[in-house]
Amino acid sequence: MKISRHHTQGLAKGVIWVAAFSTLAVMFWILYQVLREGLPLLHPDFFIQAPRQMGRAGGIFSTIIGTIALTVVAIVIATPLGVGTAIFLQEYTRESGVSRVIRFGTDCLAGVPSIIFGLFGFVFFVIFLRMGWSILSGGLTLATMILPTIICTAEEAIKSVPYTYREVSFALGGTRWQTIRKMVLPNAFPGILTGVLLGVGRSVGETAAVILTAGSSFITPDSLFSPIRTMAVHFYILAREGISMEMAYATGAALILLILAINTVANWMMYRYAHKA
């Protein structure tokens, strides 16, 4: 039997709709599950109190501080390094042996499981450099982990800036650096920000590498050398060790709200940026 053009068209449309809606359904199901269990427990006190009784009571204040501190350190270190590498690969070298080696290296790093980064961070930062379990060790480890993502997205963003912008900039007497700063980076900014956001997401959600390098102390940190516990680690410990499923869900809900907040701010930044010119 021959299937008519009309039928294949209908079939394709059906399959595509099912794919799109099942994705949405899974996403909403997860959100619903966590928020349904967690949201009722979210009182303002939960955010500003330190955990008590191993997390059975009290709030998650110190883990929020820990999450933010660790992520900020990771992003502050990885963004300039990653964007710098991307600029080097796209603007300062032609496709050559060196650039291929760098690209191969970052591609490999991107596929390495986070626990391996954790192990590396533990051996190198925590022990060899004597940084101990600390925000700094954890931040550096997460920075190495998200570096490939930032390099890769920044490279794509830089590559997508039209060649004519560069040509015009040079024709107007711009130096290479002026061209990069005034033409390439501003136009690549939204793409670079996307990469940084992916990095933020991975940092916020990471557990294994964090436990190995930043510890799991829920005492509120007072310096970069203090050990910390992030919200994701807190969630993991509460759930894994059966301390309190309720508090785990509440932490999960708070984590989701944090990520929503970060994405909202980033979208707002991109919107503002797009409507500035």
* Sites of contact with another protein (CB under 8 A): 94, 164-175, 178, 182-183, 187, 277
Q: How far is the CB of 167 from another protein (least distance, A)?
A: 6
The minimum distance between CB 248 and another protein, in angstroms, equals 47
Distance of closest approach, residue 106 Cβ to another protein, in angstroms: 23
How far is Cα 251 from Cα 272, in angstroms, rounded to an integer?
31
| 3-class DSSP assignment, residue 51 | strand
Closest to another protein by CB, 132 or 174: 174
Q: How far is the CB of 276 from another protein (least distance, A)?
A: 9
Q: For another protein, which is the closer residue by CB, 166 or 202?
A: 166
Range 31-35, long-range pairs (CB < 8 A, 24+ positions) = 31/256, 34/249, 34/252, 34/253, 34/256, 35/253, 35/256
Task: Name the residue nearer to another protein (CB basis): 169 or 207.
Answer: 169
CB-CB contact of 229 with 218 (8 Å): yes
Beta carbons of 62 and 219 less than 8 angstroms apart: yes
**Angstrom distance (rounded) from CA 186 to CA 273:** 9
Q: Is the separation of the CB atoms in 42 and 246 below 8 Å?
A: no
> Which C-beta is closer to another protein: that of 33 or that of 178?
178
Closer to another protein by Cβ: residue 184 or 248? 184
Q: Is 106 in contact with 89 (CB distance < 8 Å)?
A: no
Q: What is the DSSP string of 174-208?
A: --HHHHIIIIIHHHHHHHHHHHHHHHHHHHHH--H
Could you give the 3-state DSSP secondary structure of residue 33?
Answer: helix
Q: How far is the CB of 141 from another protein (least distance, A)?
A: 38
CB of 161: closest distance to another protein in angstroms?
Answer: 10
The smaller minimum CB distance to another protein, of residues 103 and 202, is found at 103
Residues 6+ apart with CB under 8 A from 3: 11
User: 1 or 277: whose CB is closer to another protein?
Assistant: 277
Closest approach, Cβ 174 to another protein, in A, equals 5
Question: In whole angstroms, how far apart are CA 81 and each of 64, 85, 141, 176, 275?
Answer: 26, 6, 14, 19, 28
